[in-house]
Amino acid sequence: MSWRYRFVLLFFLFIMALIITRLFYWQVVRAQELSALGQAQYDQQVVSPAQRGEIKTSDEFTIAADKLAFLVYANPKVVKDKDKESDALSKMLDIKSATISALLSENKFWIPIKSHIDNTVKVKIDSQYLPGVGFEEQTMRFYPEASMAANLLGFVGKDENGSDKGYFGLEGYYDRQLSGKNGISIIVHDAAGHPILAKMNDSTVKVDGRDLVLNVDRRIQFMLDEELKKGIATYGAKSGMAAVMDPKTGGILAMSSFPTFDPAAYQNYSENLYANPFITNTYEPGSTFKPIIMASAMDAGLVKPDTKCTACSGPVQIGDYAIHTWDDKYFPNLSMNDVIVHSDNTGMVFVGEKLGLDRMVDYLQKFGVGDTTGIDLQGEEAPEIHPKDQWYPIDLATATFGQGITVTPMELLDAISAIANNGKRMQPQVVATVQTPDGQTIPIPPKEIDQPISATTAQVMTQIMVNAVNNGESKYYRLKGYDIAGKTGTAQIPVAGHYDATKTIASFVGFAPATDPRFVMLVILNEPSSSIYGAETAAPIFFSVAKDILLYYGIPPNE
Partner 1 sequence: MKKPVVLICFLGTLVIVLLVARITLVNSISTTGIKLVDLQNQISTYKKENELLKVQYLEAASYTSISSKAKKLGYITVKSQIDLAAPLPMAMR
Cβ 206 to partner 1 shortest distance, Å: 14
Using rule CB under 8 A, residue 171 touches partner 1: no
* Binds partner 1 (CB under 8 A): choice among 61, 110, 476, 553: 61
In the bound complex, what is the minimum distance in angstroms from residue 92's beta carbon to partner 1?
18
Distance CA 37, CA 32 (A): 9
Minimal distance, residue 409 CB to partner 1, in Å? 24
DSSP secondary structure, 2-48, as one string: -HHHHHHHHHHHHHHHHHHHHHHIIIIITHHHHHHHHHHHHEEEEEE
Nearer of residues 193 and 319 to partner 1, judged by Cβ: 193
Q: Is 518 in the site for partner 1 (CB under 8 A)?
A: no
The DSSP symbol for 189 reads: B
Question: In the complex with partner 1, which residue's Cβ is closer, 64 or 460?
Answer: 64
Single residue of 144, 236, 332, 443 touching partner 1 by CB under 8 A: 144
Contact 45, 185 (CB under 8 A): yes
d(CA 90, CA 96) in angstroms, rounded, equals 6
**What is the DSSP track for 235-251?**
TT-SEEEEEEE-TTT-B
Classify residue 436 by burial, with Cβ atoms within 10 Å: 0-12, 13-18, 19+.
Answer: middle
Task: Considering the complex, state which of residue 148 and residue 382 has its C-beta at the smaller distance from partner 1.
Answer: 148
The piece of 59-67, 87-95, 351-359, 524-532 that touches partner 1 (CB under 8 A) is 59-67
Amino acid, res. 448: E
Residue with smaller CB distance to partner 1, 11 or 552: 552
Nearer to partner 1 (CB atom), residue 62 or residue 234? 62
Should residue 547 be labelled a site residue for partner 1 when binding is judged by CB under 8 A? yes
Among 67, 82, 114, 308, binds partner 1 (CB under 8 A): 67
User: What is the footprint of partner 1 within residues 212-251 (CB under 8 A)?
Assistant: 218-219, 222, 226
CB burial of residue 124 (10 Å; 0-12, 13-18, 19+): middle
CA distance 490 to 285: 8
The full 3-state SS of 347-360, as one line of letters, equals HHHHHHHHHCHHHH
- How many residues touch partner 1 (CB under 8 A)? 26
One residue of 17, 68, 102, 455 binding partner 1 per CB under 8 A = 68
Residue from 35, 119, 204, 529 binding partner 1 (CB under 8 A):
119
Q: Which stretch binds partner 1 (CB under 8 A): 86-94, 153-161, 175-183, 551-559?
A: 551-559
Which among 61, 68, 264 has a CA at the least distance from the CA of 153? 264
Q: Which one of 142-150, 177-185, 270-278, 431-439 is the stretch in contact with partner 1 (CB under 8 A)?
A: 142-150
- Cα angle, residue 68 at apex, residues 63 and 71 outer, rounded to 5°: 130
Q: Which is nearer to partner 1, 198 or 495 (CB)?
A: 198
Helix ranges (DSSP H) in 58-191? 82-93, 97-104, 119-127, 150-153, 169-173, 175-179
Quick check: 298 and 457 in contact, CB under 8 A? yes
Residue 557 found at the interface with partner 1 (CB under 8 A):
yes
Asked if 148 is part of the footprint of partner 1 (rule: CB under 8 A), the reply reads yes
Please give the Cα distance from 27 to 239 (Å, whole number). 71
CA 274 to chain centre: 9
> 439, 434, 378, 430: which is closest to 54 by C-alpha?
434
Of the candidate spans 89-97, 143-151, 163-171, 326-334, the one that interacts with partner 1 by CB under 8 A turns out to be 143-151
Give the binding range for partner 1 (CB under 8 A) out of 137-145, 202-210, 285-293, 393-401: 137-145
Nearer to partner 1, 293 or 545 (CB): 545
The reply to whether 124 sits near partner 1 by the rule CB under 8 A is: no
Are the CB atoms for 488 and 474 separated by under 8 Å?
yes
CB of 177 to partner 1, least distance (A): 21
- Residue 42 sits in the site that holds partner 1 (CB under 8 A): no
Residues 295-314 vs partner 1: string with x where CB under 8 A?
A: --------------------
Given a contact cutoff of 8 angstroms between Cβ atoms, the answer to whether 292 and 369 are in contact is yes
Indicate the helix (H) or strand (E) that contains 498: strand 498-512
- The verdict on 146 binding partner 1 (CB under 8 A) reads yes
Q: What is the largest CA-CA distance in the chain?
A: 137
Q: Is 197 a residue that touches partner 1 (CB under 8 A)?
A: yes
**x/- site string to partner 1, residues 460 to 489, per CB under 8 A?**
---------------------x--------
> Which range, of 9-17, 57-65, 260-268, 270-278, touches partner 1 by CB under 8 A?
57-65
Residues forming the site for partner 1 (CB under 8 A): 61-62, 65, 67-68, 119, 142, 144-146, 148, 190, 194-197, 218-219, 222, 226, 481, 547-548, 551, 556-557
